[in-house]
Amino acid sequence: MKLAECLNSADIMTLRKVAEHYQFSCSRHSKMELIQEILYHFRSQSFLAENVPQWGQTASSALLRLAMDPRKSFSAEEIPAMFGCTIDDPPLQSALAEGWLFANTHVNGRFMFFIPDELRTVLRDAAVDRHSVGLVTDVDGPLVFQDEAHAMARDLDVFLEYVSHHDVRLTVDGAMYKRNLKEVLQLLEVPEEPPSDSWRFGYGRRFHEYPDRLALLYDFAYQSQLLRETDDGWLVTGNKVSEWLSMGPFERARQLLKCYISVYRRPILRLPLIIQLLCAVSPDWIRTDTMLSMLGDLVKDYYYDSREQVWNVRVLKMLTHLGVIRIGQDEASHAWFQITKLGQQLITPDDVEEHENQREMASRILIVQPNFDIVVTADQPVITAELANIADLTQAGMVRVYRMSEESVKRGLLGGKSGDDWVNFLARHTQATLPGNVERMIREWTKPPITEIASAEQA
């Protein structure tokens, strides 16, 4: 909405608060005079230059999220959650009095919040400038750096070619055998070693079995139907391979980035916002530790990963693999990164969207681990009661832990639900991607017996 529309649809009490905040010299009893006075000042560059830096100081994080969000309207449930308060509390009331956030019910009859279109750019610049204080930048950067550009897409081509020309048998859990895995890793442009840590979960369907980069490649290929896991335990190419091979380099890079954001945004909730900020702050080289300080609580610990590991390994390392940034180290052992031209082209509001339905996020209370343990992180009795149909409680208290077994999963079929139904249930409520071995074993355990299949075919 334009500023004039926001003012026209606002009630006179809202307009009075804005006028009082800036001590405008106009009548407080005439809505038309209030609108004209506010419009006059808000269209003045000198007024904006003086006041915009003061906006949102009591809710800096909320202002940043709103300014970087490409949407034009926000629900009455989202805004208080962003500000961490109720509608009547000071941080949100200050934003309304400052005149950069407006509320009205003139859109579909719902109570919505709007940022005037004319203020979006100045708000975004102000929010980025405020959060950029303390950043250490350098035009030249380190002498030696790593820039992988389109290597990930090329390695996916190699992986698909390997699968199409080899018999790739899968284990009971659905992973490639070590011999095949080692052969694939030796062929790839960017070297990796098979993972040694058994406590790997949260960053993809096959993250438990494969190293970081290959795990993302595999998950992308699986969900894009470039690879298929057959029921009898073979890995084969899918029916979308020719479509992938016909794509241009930029479209390939865009698809891989979108997959990364989709997979990693659950353990790293603010990942889309973080990626947008990497592109917005500076085109120069940036020292990585100062950027982490700037991001504050946008980057948090994730179970076995410390905050620093999440930043360095899950964000910077993966974005380097995707060609979005280049990274290097100087003589003093400080790590630096710089956004690449490809990264600047890829990071657009359409491709990096921060919003996800708040109710859906609130229902993601499960952490499904590759060892079939399920940790319940919040008290939602409806979800835990459903979970108890396919898993047994092993630990009670503030944090509940359930464990799935063949017996418990088969018990879940008694209510009329199929294995696919239970896979979808877990995928819907887990905070991270459902591990591939868990998905595969649920389907295996819930297969109808061969005698039933034969009887059905005869009938």
Contact 314, 305 (CB under 8 A): yes
Average pLDDT over every residue of 415-420: 88
Which tokens in the block code for residue 166? Answer: 């080899």
Q: Would you give the DSSP letter of residue 391? A: S
Residue of 324, 335, 336, 313 whose CA lies nearest to 264 = 313
Task: Look at the chain and count its residues.
Answer: 459
Which residues, including other chains, have CB under 8 Å from residue 153's CB and lie 6 or more apart?
249, 252, 253, 256
- Whether the CA torsion 387, 391, 393, 395 is positive or negative: it is negative
Instruction: Give pLDDT, residue 426.
Output: 93
Residue 63 has pLDDT above 90, yes or no: no
Average pLDDT over every residue of 113-127: 89
Tens digits of per-residue pLDDT, 18-34?
999 999 988 889 999 99
Tens digits of per-residue pLDDT, 289-344?
999 999 988 999 998 899 999 999 999 999 999 999 999 999 999 999 999 999 99
Q: What average pLDDT is seen over the chain?
A: 89
Average pLDDT over every residue of 47-76: 86
Average pLDDT over every residue of 208-232: 95
Instruction: Give pLDDT, residue 99.
Output: 92
Instruction: Give pLDDT, residue 170.
Output: 95
For the chain, first and last CA: distance in Å? 62
Residue 161 has pLDDT above 60, yes or no: yes
| The amino acid at 114 | F
Model confidence at 404, pLDDT cuts 50, 70, 90, reads very high
Measured CA to CA, the distance from residue 421 to residue 416 in angstroms comes to 10
Average pLDDT over every residue of 51-72: 85
Instruction: Give pLDDT, residue 356.
Output: 55
Model confidence at 263, pLDDT cuts 50, 70, 90, reads very high
Domains and CATH numbers, the chain: 3-131 (1.10.10), 132-355 (no CATH), 358-451 (no CATH)
Model confidence at 456, pLDDT cuts 50, 70, 90, reads very low
Residue 451 has pLDDT above 60, yes or no: no
Residue 166 has pLDDT above 90, yes or no: yes
Tens digits of per-residue pLDDT, 333-369?
999 999 999 999 998 766 666 555 555 666 788 999 9
Instruction: Give pLDDT, residue 459.
Output: 47
Residue 107 has pLDDT above 70, yes or no: no
Instruction: Give pLDDT, residue 105.
Output: 66
> pTM of the predicted model, to two decimals?
0.85
Which residues, including other chains, have CB under 8 Å from residue 235's CB and lie 6 or more apart?
163, 168, 169, 170, 176, 227, 228, 229
Which residues, including other chains, have CB under 8 Å from residue 341's CB and lie 6 or more apart?
none
Residue 444 has pLDDT above 60, yes or no: yes
Contact 227, 221 (CB under 8 A): yes
Instruction: Give pLDDT, residue 350.
Output: 61
Instruction: Give pLDDT, residue 416.
Output: 86
| List of E strands, 69-208 | 73-75, 102-107, 110-114, 137-138, 145-146, 168-169
Contact 178, 153 (CB under 8 A): no
Least confident of 39-43, 68-72, 112-116, 315-319: 68-72
Instruction: Give pLDDT, residue 206.
Output: 93
Instruction: Give pLDDT, residue 454.
Output: 46
Average pLDDT over every residue of 366-394: 91
